[in-house]
Chains A and B, each alone.
Chain A
Amino acid sequence: MDLVTIWAAIVALVMILYVVLDGIALGVGILFPTAKDEKEKDLLMGTIAPVWDANQTWLVFGGGAIFACFPVVYGVLSSALYIPLMTFLAGLIFRGVAFEFRANARSKEKWNRAFFGGSLLAVFSQGLTLGGILTGISVKGGHFAGGPLDWLNPFSVMVGVALVPGYCLLASCYLLLKTTGEVRERAIRQARLSAWAVMGFMAIVTVWTPIHYPIVLKHWFAPPRIYFVWTFPAFGLLSFLELLGSLRKEREVAPLLWATGIFLSGYLGLVTSLYPYAIPTSVTIWEAAAQRETLVFLLYGTCLVLPVVLGYLVYSYSLFRGKVTSDGYGH
């Protein structure tokens, strides 16, 4: 493996970490209005309050790593997807401050809305961004050469809509792990419902993407991909069935793991279909990569620092493990 491929793998790993971890938090934001009263809302927010900032930091690190290692991707995508990126950031702002402001507010209604609205806006914009990338971006001489609304089309809107049940699935599986009683019952129902929606959307994306990119189809049915590309949908289907089973048996941790499995299958399927393109279908990861010295400099740091980071994040998470209750000790 060469340096560029290693970095592509690291960036891919960081992005999926962000998607799953912040997906949970954003999903909780979208499910927020389904909480009955302020007490339940406190509970929902309490499940992510100590960890949302760390979850979101994966985005900042991913952004920094793409900026440093694949500057062409960073420059071109952020000019091309200007509008959905800005609405994404605006959504993140309202979502983020809602944690702190809501807790300090006397009338919480305004920040309930900001939390829900911010999360929803961020998720939908994320979907538009992803859809926009998949739609294709016009690049000339290493710079963006398209119009301001190139990303807007039925496909990208569909991806935006699809992410909503996707993150609801992650969030409800997390909530059923962190809560008890009525809230947990509801989370289980929500998980089942969103799981079906997610599978439906994944089927649509699987059929629709090759229509956008004939090259994806060519990728799928040519060696070496033809030998393993089928494992992703198979794994996705398996995760889905196992998820439904674990929900029926009211398991604690298993649903979250299988829901993550569904995300992984979709993500890996996408990544393998597009590889080696960094911007489909015009710029490869090697064309987009930064100079060798930069990749080496950052790789040293990553190998030294990231294990430590993962270590203390696991420590910090483990301090806050267990059920969250609204009235003190649950036992």
Chain B
Amino acid sequence: MDPVLLSRWQFALTTLFHITFPTLTMGLAVYLVVVEILWLWRKEEIYFRMYRFWAKIFAIHFAVGVVSGIVLEFQFGTNFSRFSQSVANVFAPLMAYEAMTAFFLEAGFLGIMLFGWNRVSRKVHLASTCLVALGATFSAFWIMAANSWMQTPAGFHFQDGKFLVVDFWQAIFNPSFPSRLAHMLLASYQTSSFAVAGISAFFLLRGENVPFFRRSLSLALVMAAIFSPLQVFLGDHNGLIVARHQPAKLAAMEAHWDTNLSGGAGFVLFALPDEREERNRNPIVIPNGLSLVITRSLEGKVTGLKEFPRKDRPPVPMVFFSFRVMVAIGFFLLGLSWWCGMLLWRRRLWGSKRTLWLLVLAQPLGFLATYLGWITTEVGRQPWVVYGIVRTWEGVSPIAAGQVVWSLALLAVVCCAIGGSYMWYVLRTLKAGPDLKSPIPPLQRQAGMIPFVAGQSGEETLYRAV
């Protein structure tokens, strides 16, 4: 077996497993900030209940996100040590900055956020929530900077197989970074809005805690309706950047084989790309569509895959289909959020069972689109690990394939065990429903030292004691 392929599988498995959790926590943190501000502003108890309930879901995701993220940081070294040593000067400081500016912030204030209700004033608690959300955003900032640098490297000088920094500003704010960061953040906000909406819709259909879930759903829908159109706009912008900096990737995403020398390039709605024969089987094409999207003119030239030698092309079908489905989900979510927003506006949403069911079914779509987006961008980067400069096979560690088989099996088992338990506990927490009885924390921080009460995930015991 090939250690390169095995290491790539391992990285893909752990990355996709990991991204589930930050995708939810980054967005849910923003949701929690909004809820807590509403609570302090409107002083309605229901917002406090909402905070406590969704914070529990947040905590479970956060924990799994933290532990699965550590694996990723070490995998650069364990499985791609040649890559690591080659790019360390430019790439690695971004990782160190992530830990320094993001992880400590999250870790330092998460404790207060979950366990600190009676230890700090309400304002300090709100500040803690904001800082946790800020930490999550910083984390996305550095990771997207590092990953975007691999896609569109800048600010370096390549010498004797090593990257030397020339300008860190350029390396961080490389051409694809700003829009990819925004794309990921929006994906996270959108995904968590639809997650909250889907869960709330489910309980509304069952008639449980109706006022509570109506409020949760309304707030989530407002956020979804704002973020969804922005995402479509940004996705389009990202496409232009890919076309300019990674033309082979764009051609693979669109299964565009021949450069259109005369006339416009068509947009392939659906096809079965055949890599051997370099053509699409059964294509359904919108004439001039691709030229219009990429060049903003009906007959603009779009570089085709055949311009690149076979060894420089990414695997076409995987990139093509992942991209297609992701875009379809993006448009579907946009339509759904506006449709629901309109029903909400006209006060007809609560009566429309069919729409609520649609929201329940749409709940996992944001996650799916996020996975597919990452598959598109990472597989689309192949065969390069640093685009156009270092090939992926050149970056792997000098280790035996047997070791990677072993670790891949180990991590697969761990991911299944943790993933399964995570599902189980999230469902259980949801099933238990919101806690509507625990006393509201005092306006003023209590004087003196408060003993910490053990045996709580969230905070119930604390309240039982108080």
Contacts and interface: CB of A to CB of B under 8 A. Distances in A.
B115 interface: yes
B459 to A, nearest CB: 10
B93 A53 contact: no
A218 interface: no
B110 A53 contact: yes
B400 A148 contact: yes
B418 interface: yes
A215 interface: no
B96 A64 contact: yes
Contacts of B209: none
Contacts, number: 277
A61 interface: yes
Given A79-B398, A93-B67, A104 B407 contact: no
B453 A291 contact: no
A63 B76 CA distance: 11
A231 interface: no
Contact of A75 (B77, B119, B450, B457): B77
A143 B77 CA distance: 11
Interface stretch (B100-108, B278-286, B330-338): B100-108
Interface string B372-391: 00000000000000000000
A330 interface: yes
Nearest to A105: B425
Contacts of A99: 63
A145 B69 CA distance: 28
B37 interface: no
Nearest to B116: A319
Contacts of B164: 291, 293
Interface string B408-428: 001100100010011001001
A49 B454 contact: yes
Contacts of A312: 104-105, 108-109
Interface string B59-87: 11001101111110110111001101100
A64 B99 contact: yes
Main secondary structure, interface of B, reads helix
Interface residues of A, number: 84
B447 interface: no
Interface residues of B, number: 79
A50 interface: yes
B451 A71 contact: no
Contacts of A61: 96, 99-100, 103-104
Contacts of A51: 111
Interface in A52-88: 53-54, 56-57, 59-61, 63-65, 67-68, 71-72, 74-79, 82-83, 85-87
Interface string A319-331: 1111111111111
A92 interface: yes
Contacts of A72: 85
A90 B77 contact: no
B428 A104 contact: yes
Contacts of A71: 84-85, 88-89, 92
A221 interface: no
A324 B99 contact: no
B36 interface: no
Given A78-B74, A327-B465, A328-B465, A297 B454 contact: no
Nearest to A99: B63
Given A57-B107, A293-B89, A77 B67 contact: no
A313 interface: yes
Contacts of A301: 93, 96-97, 100-101
Given A39-B455, A103-B456, A67 B425 contact: no
Given A93-B414, A316-B108, A324-B453, A57 B67 contact: no
26 contacts: A39-B455, A43-B455, A46-B455, A50-B115, A56-B70, A60-B69, A61-B96, A61-B100, A64-B99, A68-B93, A79-B81, A82-B399, A86-B410, A92-B67, A92-B70, A100-B63, A104-B428, A104-B429, A143-B81, A143-B82, A148-B400, A290-B88, A301-B97, A312-B104, A324-B451, A330-B451
For the complex of A and B, list the 9 residue pairs with the smallest distance between their C-beta atoms, beginning with the closest.
Answer: A46-B454, A328-B465, A78-B77, A42-B455, A103-B457, A71-B88, A64-B96, A50-B111, A68-B92
